[in-house]
Amino acid sequence: MCSTDVSTDGPIVRITLTNSAQRNPLSLETMREIRRGLEEIGEDSSIRVIVIQANGPAFSAGHDLNELVGRSLEDEREIFASCTEMMQAIHRVRQPVIASVQGVALAAGCQLVAACDLAVASSSARFGTPGVKIGLFCSTPMVALSRAIGRKRTLRMLLTGEMIDADTAESWGLINFVTTPDNLAETTSSLVSAVAEASASTVTIGKESFYRQIELTEDAAYFEMQETMAINATSHDAQEGITAFLGKRAPVWRDN
């Protein structure tokens, strides 16, 4: 049974978690569906932005715990490897990925939000990594969280298992914007539109470069990015954008 829905609206694709009755668990098949969807979307240069959202009162409660009971080590490895592959696909896909969060995002669900490039949340949203309370430490969510909000804040969430509200998530850098529940779709659409206005090829260069440099030393990052920027500057859209700015006109992107 398919637990995600993929819909296209012009240059925007929305991946929606649809198993609201079970709080949108990230089952093995769901994670595979999302990864496959991202990989297919990444091949379509006409798509500029991807939104990950969910139906129902929860964004995602995390892994399907029923799949973690009574399984072999190889089975468990397969589940967590699939989770890693899905998270990495978010970073590898050429388009920016925006999470639109309307309810609780727990454990791997919180990891999913942290892995997205940008995130908008309803004021009613809550975020947490409660695995410690059931004997399963949220070690893979820790990877995305620690890179998004830092060590002390991540360890507070991991070691206590307590949830944080949307305003705290915004102040910590887990999400970008908090809005009222009624305005979540509108606020998400506004962010999508702002991102989609730019040259698609330039955005692709920027996203790839961000994740490439973020783990490097400062010297190595500067060395890598000065070359990236020099190559970017020779592209059609960079030349068009600079010329348009100097000429006080709107640029005409060719996406290359």
**Tens of pLDDT along 50-65?**
999 999 999 999 999 9
Task: Supply the range of the domain harboring residue 10.
Answer: 4-196
110 and 212 both lie in a single domain:
no
* Any domain includes 255: no
For residue 33, is pLDDT > 90?
A: yes
Whether 209 and 186 share a structural domain: no
Q: CATH code at 227? A: 1.10.12.10
Buried residues in 111-130 as b, exposed as e (16+ CB within 10 A): bbbbbbbbbbbbebbbbbbb
What percentage of residues in the chain have a pLDDT greater than 70?
Answer: 100
Q: Residue 162's pLDDT is what? A: 97
On whether both 106 and 221 belong to a single domain, the answer is no
Residue 15: what are its φ and ψ, rounded to 5°?
Answer: -105, 115
Residue 148 is predicted with a pLDDT of 97
pLDDT for 83-98, tens place per residue?
Answer: 999 999 999 999 999 9
* Judgement on whether residues 40 and 100 belong to the same structural domain of the protein: yes
Report yes or no on 254 lying in a domain: no
Both 234 and 130 in a single domain?
no
The region, left, alpha or beta by phi > 0 then psi within -120 to 50, assigned to residue 164 is beta
pLDDT band at 244 (very low <50, low <70, confident <90, very high): very high
Are 22 and 99 within one domain?
yes
Q: Does residue 148 belong to any structural domain of this protein?
A: yes
Residue 6's pLDDT is: 97
- In whole angstroms, how far apart are CA 227 and each of 154, 204, 209, 237? 34, 16, 11, 17
Q: Is there a single domain that holds both residue 87 and residue 208? A: no
**In the chain, how many domains are there?**
2
Beta strands in the chain (DSSP E): 4-9, 12-17, 49-54, 58-60, 97-101, 104-106, 118-122, 126-128, 164-165, 177-179
Q: Mean per-residue pLDDT for 24-39?
A: 97
Q: End of a domain among 156, 172, 196?
A: 196
Q: Tell me whether residue 66 is in a domain.
A: yes
Q: Is residue 128 part of a domain?
A: yes
Question: What pLDDT score does 149 carry?
Answer: 98
Residues 134, 239 share a domain:
no
HSE value, Cβ hemisphere, 13 Å, CA-based, for 125: 33
In a domain, 56, yes or no: yes
Note whether 9 and 100 are same-domain residues.
Answer: yes
Residues 28, 139 within the same domain = yes
Q: Per the domain annotation, does 103 fall within a domain?
A: yes
Same domain for 229 and 207?
yes
CATH number of the domain that residue 12 is part of: 3.90.226.10
Task: Kindly state whether residues 170 and 204 are assigned to the same domain.
Answer: no
Mean pLDDT of 37-45: 96
pLDDT of residue 1: 63
- How large is the average pLDDT for residues 157-174? 98
